[in-house]
Amino acid sequence: MLQQFTWGQFLLASFMLSFLWYCFVILVFYRKEVFGLLGNGGSEPLPHRWEKGVEHLDYDSDAVSGKGLDVQDSLLGKSAIPDGMSVIGMGQLSFSGSSDGRYGQVGLVADVIQELKLIFGKLESEAGSKLDFFRFLEKVKEDYGKIGAHPNVSAINEFIVSHVPFHLSAEELENLWY
pLDDT higher than 70, residue 139: yes
Q: Write down the mean pLDDT value for the chain.
A: 75
* CB count in 10 Å sphere of residue 167: 8
Query: Which tens digits make up the pLDDT trace of 10-30?
Result: 999 999 999 999 999 999 999
User: Does residue 73 sit within a domain?
Assistant: no
Task: Record the pTM.
Answer: 0.39
Residue 34 lies in domain? 2-38
Contact 177, 147 (CB under 8 A): yes
User: Does residue 138 sit within a domain?
Assistant: yes
pLDDT higher than 50, residue 147: yes
User: Does residue 81 sit within a domain?
Assistant: no
User: Does residue 125 sit within a domain?
Assistant: yes
Contact 134, 175 (CB under 8 A): no
User: Does residue 90 sit within a domain?
Assistant: no
User: Does residue 83 sit within a domain?
Assistant: no
Query: Which tens digits make up the pLDDT trace of 109-132?
Result: 788 888 888 888 888 888 878 888
Count the domains in the chain: 2
Query: Which tens digits make up the pLDDT trace of 46-78?
Result: 667 666 665 555 555 444 444 444 545 557 777
User: Does residue 97 sit within a domain?
Assistant: no
User: Does residue 65 sit within a domain?
Assistant: no
